[in-house]
Amino acid sequence: MPHNVFGKKLNRDTGQRQALLKGLAGALIRSEAIETTEAKAKAAQPLIEKLVTQARRARLNDIRQIEKVILDKELVHKLVHDIAPRFKTRPGGYLRLVKMGNRTGDNTPMVRLEFVK
């Protein structure tokens, strides 16, 4: 019986996987749309949606929790003051996955991960 199952392992150990997800979250906040593989996008989506929900509340503890994941203060500021206010009335579902076809090298399904307008 599997206990404490995180989700997709993405062929990485725990530290590498956490670094990958943090990097994807930071890149998405920086450019507001990124192209990545479908598996990585689906693994990062719950983390990013949780960060946006915390940024919507924007209490001190929420901001400190966000800073544990996103180390760049400018990105935290952008998330809390620019991105999160767009979703004040939206109950959830802040991200959209748009399928782009397969990558030519290894035929991996690629998606565009972006914030909903």
d(CA 57, CA 88): 9
DSSP letter, residue 4? S
pLDDT in tens, the chain (117 residues): 777 777 789 999 999 999 999 999 999 999 999 999 999 999 999 999 999 999 999 999 999 999 999 999 999 999 999 999 999 999 999 999 999 999 999 999 999 999 998
Q: Is this prediction's pTM over 0.85?
A: yes
Q: What's the CA angle centered on 10, arms 27 and 117, to 5 degrees?
A: 35
Domains in the chain (CATH in brackets) are: 14-115 (3.90.1030.10)
